Amino acid sequence: MRFGHRKGRDTRITTHVGLVARAFGADEFILANTDAKGPLQTITDICSRWGGAEFKTGTVTNWKKAITDFQKNGGVVCHLTMYGMPLSDSLPKLQQHLGQKKNLLVFVGAEKVPSEIYDLVDFNVAVGNQPHSEVGALAVFLDRLLDGRPVEDTSRFSDAKLSIVPQEHGKKTLEKT
Ligand code: SAM
């Protein structure tokens, strides 16, 4: 769940949060507290060309209800914040929870997030205690949580119309008919 979106300023960042979610192993991207549609449209377009029709995108207006409903259904909510607990300490605890096949919702902000989020969530996790970016934080978090599997798995996105043949130099893209 991406909370907030500053129109103009955040257009690419919000899209990139969604694209990182898709590429690094999430099933869904939820945009909260904004009526912006552009990022969701771009992510859907990417999915139609590069695969991932099953990757869901959506919006919620009542972000707090969405979070508490998710928890009531047995899900675990993790807020990425530079004020949280170190990633290395948090991951084993989080993985223990998720071992029981629970769903995980990762919450990232744009600008300042509501202070109540810190108490509402199950985990506040810092990817280092320095300010950086929701895109960077999400990528590192998912990569560490999933041991790099989604980004290494070339069989993901089997419905893609386009795929890349890795090259040491130059570019090669295959278009499926
Ligand atoms: N000054 C803002 C605040 O008070 O939250 C920071 C906003 S930062 C540009 C946007 C988002 O990036 C934050 O809401 C958080 O989700 C994420 N973020 C930035 N640095 C982080 C860090 N060191 N660890 C985890 N998440 C971070």
Q: State in Å: Cα 107 to ligand 1 middle.
A: 10
Q: How far apart are CA 133 and CA 42, in angstroms?
A: 20
Which tokens is 87 given? 């990633």
Q: Would the CB of 166 count as within 6 Å of ligand 1? A: no
pTM across the whole model: 0.96
Q: State in Å: Cα 113 to ligand 1 middle.
A: 9
> Which residue has the CA at smallest separation from atom 8 of ligand 1?
133
| Confidence (pLDDT) at 141 | 98
Residue 49 to residues 19, 20, 42, 158, Cα–Cα distance (Å): 13, 16, 11, 11
| Confidence (pLDDT) at 177 | 58
Q: How far apart are CA 101 and CA 111, in angstroms?
A: 32
Q: Which residues contact 146 (CB under 8 A, 6 or more apart)?
A: 24, 25
- What strand order describes the sheet that includes 123-126? 104-107, 76-86, 123-126
Q: Would the CB of 103 count as within 6 Å of ligand 1? A: no
Residue-range domains of the chain with CATH: 2-176 (3.40.1280.10)
Q: How far apart are CA 45 and CA 53, in angstroms?
A: 10
Q: Would the CB of 133 count as within 6 Å of ligand 1? A: yes
Backbone angles phi, psi at 103, to 5 degrees: -80, 150
Q: Would the CB of 13 count as within 6 Å of ligand 1? A: no
Q: Residue 137: which H helix or E strand, with range?
A: helix 134-145
Which tokens is 101 given? 């096949």
| Confidence (pLDDT) at 176 | 81
Task: Map residue 126 onto helix, strand or coil.
Answer: strand
What confidence tens digit (pLDDT) does each residue in 77-105 have?
Answer: 999 999 999 999 999 999 998 887 789 99
Comparing C-alpha atoms, which of 67, 69, 62 is closest to residue 34? 62
| Confidence (pLDDT) at 41 | 96
DSSP output for 19-68: HHHHHTT-SEEEEES----HHHHHHHHHHHHHS-TT-EEEEES-HHHHHH
Low pLDDT (below 70) residues in the chain: 177
Q: Would the CB of 145 count as within 6 Å of ligand 1? A: no
Q: State in Å: Cα 80 to ligand 1 middle.
A: 7
